[in-house]
Amino acid sequence: MKKYPHINWTEIAISAIIRRIELEDQLSKWETKINHGLLEEAIEIQDRIRKKIGTIKNWSSTEAIRKWRAQKNIIRKNHNY
């Protein structure tokens, strides 16, 4: 801060705080209540499906997600997103 005495650090801090408060206000408007009954039902369904199909040998969900993200990034890069 001493390196840049011409900058009004108080103004920058206040501005950042205001932006964050505005963001939090917007996010709180978009929040919805979670229906825990439906959530538990979805978890049970997912567990039943997993038991039926079992696990896939030599398959890593982490690696699959990394691959999907890499492909998405290539598409974005090629289309200048």
**Residue 76 within any structural domain of the chain:** no
Which pLDDT tens digit goes with each residue over 1-34? 889 899 999 999 999 999 999 998 888 877 666 7
Task: Give the pLDDT score at 81.
Answer: 59
43 in any annotated domain: no
Domain assignment present for residue 7? The answer is yes
Q: Residue 11 falls within a domain, yes or no?
A: yes
Under the phi-then-psi rule, with left for phi > 0, alpha for psi from -120 to 50, and beta for the rest, what region is 54? left
DSSP summary character for residue 54: -
Provide the domain limits for residue 15: 1-33
Buried b (16+ CB within 10 A) or exposed e, 20-31: eeeeeeeeeeee
Q: Would residue 3 count as lying in a domain?
A: yes
Name the pTM for this structure: 0.38
Measure CA 34 to chain center. 17
12 within some domain? yes
47 or 56, higher pLDDT:
47
The answer as to whether 14 is a domain residue is yes
20 falls within a domain: yes
